[in-house]
Structure 1
Amino acid sequence: MIREAAAADYPAVAAVLTAANPRHPVSVEALEASAKKTRQHPKGLHLAQWVAEQNGEIVGFAGVAQWAGSFHPDRYHVQLAVPPQLTRQGIGTRLAQTVQQHLQTRNAREVQAGAYEDAPQAVQFLERLGFREVAREFDNVLTLSEYQPDRWGKHRQLPPGYRLLTLEKFKAEQGEDAALNAFLTVFNEARADEPRTTPAQPYTLDEIRVYTTHPSALPHGIVLVVTDSGEVAALSELWRDLTDPTRLNTGLTGTARHHRRRGLALAAKLAGLELARQHGARTVWTSNASTNVPMLAINTHLGFKPEPAFIEMQWGSVD
Structure 2
Amino acid sequence: MEIRPAHPDDAEALAAVRRDVFAFAVMSPATVAHMITTSTPDEQPLHLVGLDEGRVVAWGSAAINTWTSDPGQAGINVHVHPEHRLRGIGGALSDRLHEHLQEIGAVRARAFASSSGVEFAKRRGYDGTRQMHYSGIDLRQPLPDQPPTPDGIELVGLDQVTARQAYLVDSIAGLDEPGDSPSDAVEFDQWVQEIWESPGLDKALSVAALAGDEIVAYHAVETAGDRAWAGMTGTLPAYRGKGLAKLVKSVALRRAAAAGIVGAFTSNDDENGPMLAVNNWLGYRRVETQTGLLRLL
TM-score where L is the length of structure 1: 0.84
* Cα shift readout 1:209-254 (whole Å, capped 9, x = no counterpart): 33222111214122111113x122111111212xxx2211112112
1:272-291 to structure 2, matched below 5 A, reads 272-291=252-271
CA contact (8 A) 1:2 1:95 kept: no
Q: Identify unmatched segments of 5+ residues in structure 2.
A: none
Q: Which moved more, 1:63-72 or 1:251-260?
A: 63-72
What is the letter of the counterpart of residue 187 of structure 1? D
Cα distance between partner residues in 2 of 1:54 and 1:226: 51
Cα distance between partner residues in 2 of 1:59 and 1:183: 37
Structure number with higher helix proportion: 1
CA contact (8 A) 1:156 1:270 kept: no
CA contact (8 A) 1:180 1:208 kept: no
Cα distance between partner residues in 2 of 1:182 and 1:292: 25
**DSSP 3-state at the match of 2:190:** helix
Question: Equivalent residue for 2:154?
Answer: 163
1:213 and 2:179 matched: no
List 4+ stretches of structure 1 deviating above 6 A: none
Alignment root-mean-square deviation, CA = 2.2
Cα distance between partner residues in 1 of 2:218 and 2:81: 37
**DSSP 3-state at the match of 1:266:** helix
Question: Equivalent residue for 1:4?
Answer: 4
**DSSP 3-state at the match of 2:205:** strand
Cα distance between partner residues in 2 of 1:137 and 1:308: 8
Structure 1 position 202, deviation (Å): 3.9
CA contact (8 A) 2:227 2:263 kept: yes
Structure 1 position 147, deviation (Å): 3.0
Cα distance between partner residues in 2 of 1:232 and 1:116: 35
1:220-235 to structure 2, matched below 5 A, reads 220-228=204-212, 230-235=213-218
- Corresponding residue pairs, total: 295
Question: Equivalent residue for 2:45?
Answer: 47
Cα distance between partner residues in 1 of 2:170 and 2:280: 24
CA contact (8 A) 1:81 1:92 kept: yes
* Cα shift readout 1:80-121 (whole Å, capped 9, x = no counterpart): 12211221122222222223333332343101112113x2xx
Structure 1 position 313, deviation (Å): 0.8
CA contact (8 A) 2:132 2:289 kept: yes
Structure 1 position 203, deviation (Å): 3.0
Cα distance between partner residues in 1 of 2:57 and 2:202: 32
TM-score where L is the length of structure 2: 0.90
Cα distance between partner residues in 2 of 1:66 and 1:279: 36
Q: Which moved more, 1:127-136 or 1:74-83?
A: 74-83
Cα distance between partner residues in 1 of 2:261 and 2:92: 40
Structure 1 position 287, deviation (Å): 1.1
Structure 1 position 64, deviation (Å): 1.6
CA contact (8 A) 1:68 1:201 kept: no
Aligned match of 1:263 in 232, 243, 265?
243
Aligned match of 1:75 in 58, 62, 73?
73
1:253 and 2:229 matched: no
* Cα shift readout 1:154-174 (whole Å, capped 9, x = no counterpart): x2321x2221112222x3xxx
1:113 and 2:104 matched: no
Cα distance between partner residues in 1 of 2:168 and 2:26: 31
**Identity across matched positions, percent:** 24
Based on CA coordinates, which of the two structures has the bigger radius of gyration? 1
CA contact (8 A) 2:72 2:106 kept: yes
